[in-house]
Structure 1
């Protein structure tokens, strides 16, 4: 026999592993509840099920009262459904016994139903019926209806607030306040809360339907039982009415009291809302923490006790209790004040908070919030990729980017603010794609004509269905989030030197490997200060030179200072020479060479002859006419090279490179300016123009 049993277990082993034991138990419980609706059950089993319904409802109520937050009881919607099915099944089972065996006596539907019917009625049929009707009305009209309404409103408002909460999480993540695991955890909690409140909205309808069905079953039991007693059992009217009314009211009590407890528990959970902590602590703290209301309540109760015609003792007892509570609270507060350490006036955070600036902030109109908080979180994800790309390309981690809504903006507008100062703006169409024109010969596309915000190129907002058609016509098609992020990238790169603060410079130095710390100790502060090094790095970043190779930069700074170079510009020039391989590699085009526009000897001599000031701080003093001629010539040559498909680099001598760059940068011509010594000896160079 043992071998047969082991063989059977081995045969069922794979199937047993498919369904865990807990799932089997729950499935059997649900099947048992549903089977009660169809099959009759003996009275002793019915009594056990009714007792279980009572205990389950009491347990649910006690758990609801001890919650710290509503989400701690996330299984409540499922429990509401299961307990509702259980009560309805028991209602049907007792109704079957009442209608079929009610004439057998008060214990026809079990001892639990008989006990509740006899206890409530107390021998008076009319009083029992009235009390039962009141309980039914309280549950259906007051508690169940109110809980259902609170759940509906809570679900609606919580779901409406979800985009803002998701946006707040993404903003905290982008600003570095929280890390990725914390953000993932908070998003999970947000999703659970949304599901919980939505499920509670639906589950509250189960409780309300349970109250309605209990009323219908009660009427069926009374009139159906009366008819069965008169016709089938040949009972007298008084006997049939007493017997079936007692059984019906007992059955109704057994189902309505658990329903009342569960409805109260559901109302407590949904009405708790955003209150943190256990309910009893909050109620005691908020009701008994103020002395004046307690004193007024004690005085009012004392006055009522003295009025003629009103009973003295009840109001006097309430007055004494309220007065004792007020006195106790007053003494407790005085003792705490006497034992307290003298309080120092806290700083005015309203003033200090104003001085904290958002280094980089993206403000969105309400029509663009879906891009920041909707599915995929497009803008926050692309900003994170932008920060990683800048760290890789330039060796500097962009400060945290804060994303927030701005109700003063138009719905589809956005604004970039760098240190609270507007640095760029644009307009998006969140449900469309931006097609950027390939040139004058571009094919026509149906859509809204516009200008690409980053580079000012002609573009068109088109429907997503036209994206493939636009790409086949050589239009560049990008989504709205990419448009915003590309614009932000250019704005940040133009101003990235401003983000390298004194503190950030110290972080870069302290983050160097241990073997480089000796070089840092020898260099700072004896050779150059942290502020001086900060200025050197800022000038490199201003021309988009990566500072990832910090050991080479520090060595070059040390060499420049040892060679008696005093000005920051001369130190930067030496550092750039040491970084020639890196600079040349960043300038090589797709054809494998550096396309350069060279400065003619005449212009070199003109610019060099216009230099004035001491050797360490030379300034360019070029006449207005010559300056205008020089700028016009630069525009013509650079535009010609660009039209030829090149990305030209302006090549000058070391002596005038910095000043030529200042001129080119001021007129916003996006072309690098390098000195001849900054082109590595192994780099291939092709002259594409001469000024």
Structure 2
């Protein structure tokens, strides 16, 4: 057989050909007359299939564990209906030959199970039909219909919850895809079960009609075609009809029970036996059950031999079950408390950015309150991704009992970069400058910019705004702080995966440029370092086409990321100056005294390639000169840049960026020739020349 399957067109496996073969067999049962022996085999197979489906339904943990059930139910129903067609043919054609004419299975059901009395058989069949059609099938169909409706109604909400978890960094992209697939499969499953329940109901109705056809057709054929007496015809054909009906109804009843078990299944942690055992087997109900049974046993005429063991079993369960429950709980908790077991999940954390919160801030991420913090984080990531030019990695939000209740902490690659306290039931009133009016509240500071602020009651928000405060909610406070830190450390969040995604996007828009850049001229690792240096100085990499074009032009000159970063800056100069001076305005600049600049150039040439080439004395002199020249400018509203010669630009930025956060250091070559420059001050000049031009 395996050799035959291997020679099938396309190399189809046996499993792939099983379903079409099963369909052909079903058609054959309906069309081809079967001998009684084959009919017996198929009847036993039908019962075995129903039992197998029932056992699988009992042992699943959740309905999706048996997602093929609607299709299996369809095939099992078709098998039983095909057997009804085949058995009806045999009963009507050969029924006059005796009760064994339709096979031993039908004869056994008609003779042994109902005692050979077809009147009893009809009533037994009627009872089974009522149980199956009115009770089990109707109930399972209703549950399927409601479950399908509720699942479809909840589908958008579940999808939004998955997106929120993904944006918050609580799950990975692969986990999000798996959860979306599970949600979609669940909706499809309950929709299919709603339709499959109609198969079961139709099968039960068909059983009644087939029984009536067998009885009426048998009586007519027996008396007219085979000259049987009416009593003999009734005895023979009714017994065969009832046996045939019972043979069909037993597997139908089993499948109906299986369907009801699947659609009424709740929970995922245990199978049905474990769930029922853990919930019904609790100690509390069994003591009153035993006492009530004991009282019932005292009634006159009650069978004490039956009641007494039931009372004893109930009391025994009431005494023993707590110990078993404790033992089970201890056994379940043992692996969690096993200090010798270490998993990879215990030591690996794939989220580069994380927000840890105290338990008092958990309401800010709960769906009940709309999860304002999660929405804020999503908005921060979206806006920063647009500004910086690459998709920021997920920010994982998790609670940490080691923190104080209202404390939060922001970490990058496990390193704490910021922390503070917020109060979820208050608002933060931030003072932009000296204010005459003070609103009631607790003194604090804005964690993002360090401005003086006060935590106030929401009822005083209007008063604070009237006094000139800027009032923000706790989620906005954390979101703003996170925004500033992610922007300041964006270069640490850019990895080769993100750069490869940028290159793939560039390849879609400019395939020749992308192919010329990497890996032909520069490896992706070097491109990553160059882009990270741009981000470190607050330069967006959104214009990847210009950056790639500049790298292609300068790559033959150097492979050093530091030198490459300096060489491509003139190509980005227009965007750099525009961010400071607008579209047409002059660039406000702070120059360096030629004498001091000459000392800086000599220091860089004496220590080529050093990140900090200046000696301590020169560093002190430069710091004092910068402080003297820029003190007044920093307090003003106008943006400005420090301008110097190209050889010292990067080293000077390394020296000043911690002291002058947000003030760029430009080389003269970075400024387009079409741009005017207005010198506001000169660093290191002998006299105060602030405002010089």
What TM-score do the two structures reach when normalised by structure 1? 0.58
2:561 matches 1:597: no
Give the one of 258, 274, 283 matched to 1:265.
Answer: 258
Question: Structure 1 residues 600 and 128, CA, compared in 2 at 3 Å: closer, same or farther?
Answer: closer
Give the one of 76, 79, 103 matched to 2:72.
Answer: 79
Question: Structure 1 residues 220 and 594, CA, compared in 2 at 3 Å: closer, same or farther?
Answer: closer
In the TM superposition, residue 541 of structure 1 has moved relative to its aligned partner by 10
Q: Distance in 1 between matches of 2:627 and 2:322?
A: 77
Question: Structure 1 residues 219 and 308, CA, compared in 2 at 3 Å: closer, same or farther?
Answer: same
Kept in 2, the 8 Å contact 1:391–1:398? The answer is no
Give the one of 321, 326, 346 matched to 2:318.
Answer: 326
Q: Distance in 1 between matches of 2:35 and 2:327?
A: 65
Q: Distance in 2 between matches of 1:253 and 1:542?
A: 80
2:116 matches 1:109: no
Q: Equivalent residue for 2:668?
A: 681
Q: Equivalent residue for 2:29?
A: 36
Q: Distance in 2 between matches of 1:24 and 1:197?
A: 27
Kept in 2, the 8 Å contact 1:171–1:380? The answer is no
Give the one of 625, 634, 642 matched to 1:658.
Answer: 634
Q: Distance in 1 between matches of 2:478 and 2:119?
A: 87
Give the one of 587, 591, 610 matched to 2:576.
Answer: 587
In the TM superposition, residue 238 of structure 1 has moved relative to its aligned partner by 1.6
Q: Distance in 1 between matches of 2:666 and 2:285?
A: 83
SS of residue paired to 1:164: helix
In the TM superposition, residue 334 of structure 1 has moved relative to its aligned partner by 8.0
SS of residue paired to 2:122: helix
Q: CA RMSD in A?
A: 5.0
Kept in 1, the 8 Å contact 2:110–2:118? The answer is no
Q: Equivalent residue for 1:195?
A: 188
Question: Structure 1 residues 357 and 228, CA, compared in 2 at 3 Å: closer, same or farther?
Answer: closer
The residue correspondences of 1:346-385 to structure 2 (distance < 5 A) are: 352-356=358-362
Q: Equivalent residue for 1:288?
A: 281
Q: Distance in 2 between matches of 1:278 and 1:304?
A: 34
Kept in 2, the 8 Å contact 1:360–1:401? The answer is no
Q: Equivalent residue for 2:148?
A: 155
In the TM superposition, residue 332 of structure 1 has moved relative to its aligned partner by 4.5
The residue correspondences of 1:353-432 to structure 2 (distance < 5 A) are: 353-356=359-362, 386=383, 388-390=385-387, 392=389, 399=395
Q: Equivalent residue for 1:175?
A: 168
The residue correspondences of 1:492-641 to structure 2 (distance < 5 A) are: 499-500=483-484, 584=573, 586-588=575-577, 595-597=584-586
Q: Distance in 1 between matches of 2:59 and 2:88?
A: 36
Kept in 1, the 8 Å contact 2:61–2:267? The answer is no
What TM-score do the two structures reach when normalised by structure 2? 0.58
Q: Distance in 2 between matches of 1:494 and 1:392?
A: 23
Q: Equivalent residue for 2:210?
A: 217
Q: Equivalent residue for 1:555?
A: none
Question: Structure 1 residues 338 and 354, CA, compared in 2 at 3 Å: closer, same or farther?
Answer: closer
SS of residue paired to 1:596: coil
Deviation by residue 1:263-311 (Cα, 9 ceiling, x = unmatched): 111110110033431100111110112x231000000000000011333
In the TM superposition, residue 680 of structure 1 has moved relative to its aligned partner by 2.3
Q: Distance in 2 between matches of 1:219 and 1:508?
A: 80
2:113 matches 1:120: yes
Question: Structure 1 residues 383 and 36, CA, compared in 2 at 3 Å: closer, same or farther?
Answer: farther
SS of residue paired to 1:37: helix
Q: Distance in 2 between matches of 1:23 and 1:82?
A: 16
Question: Structure 1 residues 266 and 397, CA, compared in 2 at 3 Å: closer, same or farther?
Answer: closer
Q: Equivalent residue for 2:444?
A: none
In the TM superposition, residue 384 of structure 1 has moved relative to its aligned partner by 6.6
Question: Structure 1 residues 360 and 586, CA, compared in 2 at 3 Å: closer, same or farther?
Answer: farther
Q: Distance in 1 between matches of 2:539 and 2:175?
A: 34
Give the one of 118, 126, 144 matched to 2:137.
Answer: 144
Question: Structure 1 residues 383 and 335, CA, compared in 2 at 3 Å: closer, same or farther?
Answer: closer
Question: Structure 1 residues 34 and 294, CA, compared in 2 at 3 Å: closer, same or farther?
Answer: same
Q: Distance in 2 between matches of 1:295 and 1:359?
A: 44
Kept in 1, the 8 Å contact 2:166–2:394? The answer is no
Q: Equivalent residue for 2:556?
A: none
Deviation by residue 1:49-103 (Cα, 9 ceiling, x = unmatched): 1111011111110111111221111111111110110000100111111111111
2:56 matches 1:63: yes
Kept in 1, the 8 Å contact 2:170–2:397? The answer is no
Kept in 2, the 8 Å contact 1:47–1:111? The answer is yes
Give the one of 231, 236, 252 matched to 2:224.
Answer: 231
Question: Structure 1 residues 396 and 334, CA, compared in 2 at 3 Å: closer, same or farther?
Answer: closer
Question: Structure 1 residues 422 and 364, CA, compared in 2 at 3 Å: closer, same or farther?
Answer: farther
Gapped regions of structure 2 (runs ≥ 5) = 338-356, 399-421, 429-474, 497-533, 543-565, 591-622, 645-664, 679-690
Kept in 2, the 8 Å contact 1:117–1:247? The answer is yes
Question: Structure 1 residues 337 and 178, CA, compared in 2 at 3 Å: closer, same or farther?
Answer: closer
Kept in 2, the 8 Å contact 1:65–1:268? The answer is yes
Kept in 2, the 8 Å contact 1:305–1:313? The answer is no
Kept in 2, the 8 Å contact 1:593–1:686? The answer is no
Gapped regions of structure 1 (runs ≥ 5) = 1-7, 345-350, 366-371, 373-378, 403-417, 424-490, 514-539, 549-576, 602-614, 621-652, 665-671
Question: Structure 1 residues 221 and 338, CA, compared in 2 at 3 Å: closer, same or farther?
Answer: closer
Q: Equivalent residue for 2:85?
A: 92
Q: Equivalent residue for 2:602?
A: none
The residue correspondences of 1:430-469 to structure 2 (distance < 5 A) are: none
Deviation by residue 1:601-645 (Cα, 9 ceiling, x = unmatched): 9xxxxxxxxxxxxx989999xxxxxxxxxxxxxxxxxxxxxxxxx
Question: Structure 1 residues 214 and 512, CA, compared in 2 at 3 Å: closer, same or farther?
Answer: closer
Q: Equivalent residue for 1:348?
A: none
Kept in 2, the 8 Å contact 1:121–1:129? The answer is no
Kept in 2, the 8 Å contact 1:594–1:685? The answer is no
